[in-house]
Amino acid sequence: MKTPKYIEDIFKKYVNNTLTKNEFNTLLEFVRNSESKDNVKELFDMYRKNLDVSKENIKEDLDYESELLFYQIMNEIENDDKKKDSKKRIGLIFKVAATFALFLVGTFYFYQNNFFSKNKVVSSPAVIDTNAITLTLSDGNIKVISETGEEKIIDQKGNVIGTQEGNQISYSNANKNSTEALVYNELTIPYGKLFDLELSDGTKIKLNAGTSIRYPVKFIKGLQRKVFLKGEAYFEVAKDKTHPFIVNANDINVEVLGTEFNMSYYPEDTNINTVLVEGSVRLYGETGLNSPKIETLLTPGHKAAWNKNNKEMAVNKVDTQLYTAWKDGILLFRKSAYENIVKKLERHYDVIIENHYQFLDSQVYTATFSSSEETIEDVLDAFKEDTPFRYTRLNGNKIIITEPL
């Protein structure tokens, strides 16, 4: 197959370090295509001298993101090559294509002064610090978010679709800059951190520790506004009567037009809880392939608890502050069982609490703490005054509780 002229033109621009982002992506896809290996070799041979100069210019500027992407491409090429019969031809083509890919990726990161060069974007979640806030982009790349950073969020076409300022990301720019297509990002918040998110329609979301949310970077006219939640979040939904807002959590959906509510769905919890503060919501879902639909209407001041085990919904009147105080940095417990308190402490302070004093399991507590001002030691010391026990902190984030002397 003859090398397409547009690919050759893009390759020339690559050699001259004048590629745009879209051209970079096009060239990268061409390199990854197993049917293009002969063309890659041809281009490499044609511009070998220029590439050698390019390599000299960029070799000291390669960062770990570039290397990760390079190895990803190498693996793809290697897997394709294993299917070929000629080992000699395999080695030659693989070497050429892999070398070219390294030049390509390195050059791109070297000269682009934008979102991808200023922030850590990696291809494999295995290398990411589990304590980091991460943003998974529509192309699968994962960006590490700094809580003190101020950055622009760029889509695959080079459009600015959002901005990050400190512990908030806003997609207000997506309305005017992105295309009319449903494209998702996913934000993940580790234990010990809180984060704010503003969607393209103006909906504001506060994300609790240990939460991830998947959402469109831009809501499309005529389609539902739907997001997917795992963890806990407080929603202030922008009103739009023609486009219902839906939060999906496992097998439960919460549908609203404009309201404020808290939703909690941690995989380790038995219940999926929805607490309505203002407005009205409709909860619905499927209990199974051959079971009827469940549907519940919720009014302010009530909590709907969906039991994941027995597939039943319970609705009760509650003090909404008990379920929403976390968004203001307050840990609020009212006649709370010890095991429930421990779960919240582990999430808020990013610790592992191991209890060897069984008496605590039967205790209930009422207390209020400021998670931003009081440490986990402050909290445990307060509980010790009510029920004496000992605790030891090991390896940074592990706490062992034992009975008193």
User: For residues 257 and 278, what is the distance between their CA atoms, to the nearest angstrom?
Assistant: 11
DSSP secondary-structure letter at 114? Answer: S
Q: Where are the beta strands (DSSP E) in 118-194?
A: 121-122, 133-136, 142-145, 150-154, 160-165, 168-170, 184-189
User: For residues 165 and 208, what is the distance between their CA atoms, to the nearest angstrom?
Assistant: 18
Of the pLDDT bands very low, low, confident and very high (cuts 50, 70, 90), residue 396 is confident
Model pLDDT for residues 235-252, shown as the tens digit of each residue? 999 999 889 999 999 889
pLDDT at 289: 41
- Looking up tokens 């197959």 gives 1
User: For residues 243 and 239, what is the distance between their CA atoms, to the nearest angstrom?
Assistant: 9
Closest CA to 66 of 141, 153, 132, 140: 141
pLDDT at 286: 58
Domain boundaries, given as residue ranges, for the chain: 5-112, 117-223, 329-402
Tell me if 287 sits within 8 A of 278, measured CB to CB: no
Question: Is the pLDDT higher at 204 or at 100?
Answer: 204
Q: What is the pTM of this model?
A: 0.67
Closest CA to 39 of 72, 5, 87, 81: 5
User: For residues 317 and 325, what is the distance between their CA atoms, to the nearest angstrom?
Assistant: 17
Lowest mean pLDDT among 1-10, 13-22, 177-186, 354-363: 13-22
In sequence order, what DSSP letters do the residues of 29-85 get, joined into one string? HHHH-GGGHHHHHHHHHHTHHHHHHHHHHHTTS--HHHHHHHHHHHHHHHHHHTTSS
Model pLDDT for residues 261-272, shown as the tens digit of each residue? 999 999 888 999
Residue range 329-402, CATH number: 3.55.50.30
* Chain-centre distance for alpha carbon 403: 40
* Chain-centre distance for alpha carbon 290: 33
Burial 188-217 (b: 16+ CB within 10 A, else e): bbbbbbbbbbbbbbebbbbbbbbbbbbbbb
Of the pLDDT bands very low, low, confident and very high (cuts 50, 70, 90), residue 116 is very low
User: For residues 73 and 79, what is the distance between their CA atoms, to the nearest angstrom?
Assistant: 10
Question: Is the pLDDT higher at 267 or at 177?
Answer: 267
Torsion of CA 103, 113, 62, 75, to 10 degrees: -60
Instruction: For residue 382, give the 3-state DSSP assignment.
Output: helix
Instruction: For residue 195, give the 3-state DSSP assignment.
Output: strand
Lowest mean pLDDT among 48-62, 156-170, 367-381: 48-62
Instruction: Supply the mean pLDDT for the chain.
Output: 78
pLDDT at 381: 95
Question: 281 - beta bridge partners?
Answer: 298
Question: Is the pLDDT higher at 78 or at 394?
Answer: 394
User: For residues 211 and 206, what is the distance between their CA atoms, to the nearest angstrom?
Assistant: 10
Q: Determine how β-strand 302-307 pairs with β-strand 312-317.
A: antiparallel
Q: Is the pLDDT of residue 372 over 90?
A: no
Model pLDDT for residues 10-45, shown as the tens digit of each residue? 777 666 656 565 566 666 667 766 667 677 777 766
Backbone dihedral angles phi then psi of residue 191, each to the nearest 5 degrees = -60, 145
Q: Quick count: other Cβ atoms within 10 Å of Cβ 184? A: 13
User: For residues 58 and 109, what is the distance between their CA atoms, to the nearest angstrom?
Assistant: 9
User: For residues 246 and 254, what is the distance between their CA atoms, to the nearest angstrom?
Assistant: 5
Model pLDDT for residues 310-362, shown as the tens digit of each residue? 888 999 999 999 999 999 999 999 999 999 999 999 999 999 999 999 999 99
